[in-house]
Amino acid sequence: MGWIDFLRNDPINKLLLAQNPALLYFVERDILGKKVASIETLWGLPEPMKIIHKQKPDGFWKYPGNTTHNNIGTNYELLETFRNLRYLVEKYGFNRAHPNLQKAVDYVFSCQTNEGDIRGILSNQYMPYYMGAILELTIKAGYAEDRRTIQGLDWLLTMRQYDGAWSIPLQSYKITYLYQVAKDDPIPPDRAKPFSHLATGMILRAFAAHPHYKQMPEVKEAADLLKSRFFKPDAYNDHKDIKYWTKFQFPFWWTDLLSALDTLGKLGYDRGDVEVIMGLDWFIQHQGENGLWKASYEKRPEMDLWVSLSVCRVLKHFLGG
């Protein structure tokens, strides 16, 4: 019995109707198991070329929105570079062989401090959750053994709460507190407080992508804590509501049920795990009549296809076939 047999509707035919050659590439490679051309064939597509053409000579992308927090030192270029790295790495398979990807990664690491953390999106305050999401991309792009990546992963390990997972230090305060302390020395975590599953899920994505760090007992401990929170509110106000478990996007950004299951699969969990089964069952029960699952943050029809591709990857990994 394969993963398709657990579903009411076969999503593959709907995915194969996509007009996006990058999405079709991953459907054929990851879902159908077909032999495909080199990943470099995606790099010259119009969509990634549009992204590349907007990149600045120093490797970053200019934030297109309202930069109201410049006065407190918010690095909007780092935020926009993270956003575009997600697309290039996850949707088009860019890696360190591409010179523009190299420039983007070098820019990101130019924001790394002597402590090892990447800083700027929260001004001069620690941002371990963004740190994890960024390192996931650098690792997938071929920088797993780069000293800057290693330094960042080691820094993240030093930032855990006493319970074994992570929080965002500023989550212990009202968001307005950022304006008071933005440029000050970073506030350390209050390690006696409970972990945040928002932060932990984003950080674990980096460890799950790394061939060596994923095997560490500290990572397994944190992953156990993450899955214990499925369908429960976060301990902090940021994305606290349980509705965020089922608000999906791809490439991943915040922690949700889909990104968490993807991470757990890469860390070696299987369908014998109670929480994993609970998560898989949610997707089986909430498949649309058209065979797809809905994206929550971007309403273009293509985004439903990318989210559904990611769901299919997870179901195939855990349920086989």
| Helix axes 99-110 and 76-86, enclosed angle (nearest 10) | 140
- pLDDT tier, 298 (very low <50, low <70, confident <90, very high otherwise): confident
Whole-angstrom Cα distance, residue 6 to residue 74? Answer: 46
Residue 139 structure tokens = 């690792």
Whole-angstrom Cα distance, residue 283 to residue 317? Answer: 14
| Helix axes 301-319 and 257-266, enclosed angle (nearest 10) | 40
- pLDDT tier, 173 (very low <50, low <70, confident <90, very high otherwise): confident
Whole-number pLDDT of residue 227: 98
Whole-angstrom Cα distance, residue 277 to residue 81? Answer: 35
Whole-angstrom Cα distance, residue 125 to residue 244? Answer: 25
| % of the chain beyond a pLDDT of 70 | 97
- pLDDT tier, 199 (very low <50, low <70, confident <90, very high otherwise): very high
- pLDDT tier, 68 (very low <50, low <70, confident <90, very high otherwise): low
* Structural domains of the chain sorted by starting position, each given as residue range(s) with its CATH number in brackets: 39-246 (1.50.10.20)
Residue 284 structure tokens = 């089986």
Is pLDDT of 74 > 70?
yes
pLDDT tens, position by position, 205-255: 999 999 999 999 999 999 999 999 999 999 999 899 999 999 999 999 999
Give me the mean pLDDT over the 117-144 stretch. 97
Backbone angles phi, psi at 61, to 5 degrees: -115, 145
Is pLDDT of 90 > 90?
yes
Token pair 């349980």: residue: 242
Q: Which of 33-37, 61-65, 169-173, 212-216 has the lowest mean pLDDT?
A: 169-173
Is pLDDT of 1 > 70?
yes
Beta bridge partners of 55: 61
Q: Any idea what DSSP says for residue 238?
A: T
Whole-number pLDDT of residue 239: 92
Whole-angstrom Cα distance, residue 195 to residue 82? Answer: 24
Q: What is the radius of gyration, based on Cα positions, of the chain?
A: 19
> Please, what is the average pLDDT of the chain?
95
Phi-psi region for residue 73, left (φ > 0), alpha (ψ -120 to 50) or beta?
A: left
Whole-number pLDDT of residue 183: 86
Whole-number pLDDT of residue 290: 94
Separation of first and last alpha carbons in the chain? 7
Whole-angstrom Cα distance, residue 43 to residue 230? Answer: 36
Whole-angstrom Cα distance, residue 35 to residue 11? Answer: 20
Is pLDDT of 177 > 70?
no
Angle at 263 between CA 262 and CA 264, to 5 degrees: 95
Whole-number pLDDT of residue 71: 75
Phi-psi region for residue 215, left (φ > 0), alpha (ψ -120 to 50) or beta?
A: alpha
Reported residue count of the chain is 321
pTM for the complete prediction?
Answer: 0.96
| % of the chain beyond a pLDDT of 90 | 89
Give me the mean pLDDT over the 21-34 stretch. 98
Helix ranges, the chain (H): 12-16, 21-26, 46-53, 76-86, 92, 99-110, 128-138, 147-158, 177-181, 197-209, 217-228, 257-266, 274-285, 301-319
Give me the mean pLDDT over the 14-37 stretch. 97
- pLDDT tier, 157 (very low <50, low <70, confident <90, very high otherwise): very high
221: three-class secondary structure by DSSP: helix
Whole-number pLDDT of residue 235: 95
Is pLDDT of 69 > 70?
no
Give me the mean pLDDT over the 90-103 stretch. 98
Whole-angstrom Cα distance, residue 114 to residue 310? Answer: 36
Is pLDDT of 168 > 90?
yes
Is pLDDT of 85 > 90?
yes
- pLDDT tier, 321 (very low <50, low <70, confident <90, very high otherwise): confident
